[in-house]
Amino acid sequence: MPIILQTPTTYLITNGATTERTTTPTSDEFTRVLALVERAVAAGITLIQLREKELPARTLYDLTVRAAQITAGSATRLLVNDRADVARAAGADGVHLTTRSLEARIVRRTLGHDFLIGVSTHSLAEASTARDEGADFATFGPIFETPSKRGYGAPVGLGALNEAARALAPFPLLALGGIALGDVHQVLQAGARGVAAIRLFSDAHDLTDTLRAIEGAALTS
């Protein structure tokens, strides 16, 4: 049975600034990621994704172990980008799969129903496949223009989000891509269950205020 996420779901994604060459468990980049995890847990973020794609497996494992210690006992769930093996071994709650990752059905069959699976999707067809293969949720986008998603082509827009959300309900889609705080109301109105973001959460001076604003937008959507 899919894991039930709260509404609105808030999904903080780390910015991937760590590198294979310079990042170690004693480096500033490593410490900054963990500090962001601590702030997110204190604020009550629903989900955190460690999107540190350039790290070697050992360093990613060490980072995930430390992050999982911070999220343990809280309401925040921790996911690792792509590496389901590292997520499981390090004690994270789940994995976020990309278009280049193992299929969700394989991860589900291997790691069971208590392992949280998110999937990146950019169309109704991809989101439908994620649902059918046993994912717990999918990010959907990019909704708006954003530098980190230019490789996926033009933004899909609110209309595509609304179409996918209506077609797949109650499967949760989290809007992703170029979303500022002022956009939250309209993406929730379009059917998103919540918001996934790098900049919206990592640049916020006070994550608690950001989450309160999102909850307020949900009440009027």
How does pLDDT run across 25-76, given as a tens digit for each residue?
999 999 999 999 999 999 999 999 999 999 999 999 999 999 999 999 999 9
Q: Read off the pLDDT of residues 136-157 as tens digits, 9 standing for 90 and up.
A: 999 999 999 877 656 666 899 9
173 burial via Cβ count (<10 Å: 0-12, 13-18, 19+): buried
Q: Read off the pLDDT of residues 151-178 as tens digits, 9 standing for 90 and up.
A: 666 899 999 999 999 999 999 999 999 9
Q: Which residue has the tokens 């204190």?
A: 42
Q: Report d(CA 142, CA 48) in Å as an integer.
A: 18
Average pLDDT for the chain = 94
The residue ranges of every structural domain in the chain are 9-219
Instruction: Find the Cα–Cα–Cα–Cα dihedral 91, 3, 98, 132, rounded to 10°.
Output: 140
Whole-structure pTM value: 0.95
% of the chain at pLDDT higher than 70: 95
Q: Could you say which architecture CATH assigns to the domain 9-219?
A: Alpha-Beta Barrel (3.20)
User: What confidence score (pLDDT) does residue 221 get?
Assistant: 81
Element (H, E) at 78: strand 77-81
**CA 20, 115, 58: angle at the middle one, nearest 5?**
20
User: What confidence score (pLDDT) does residue 146 get?
Assistant: 78
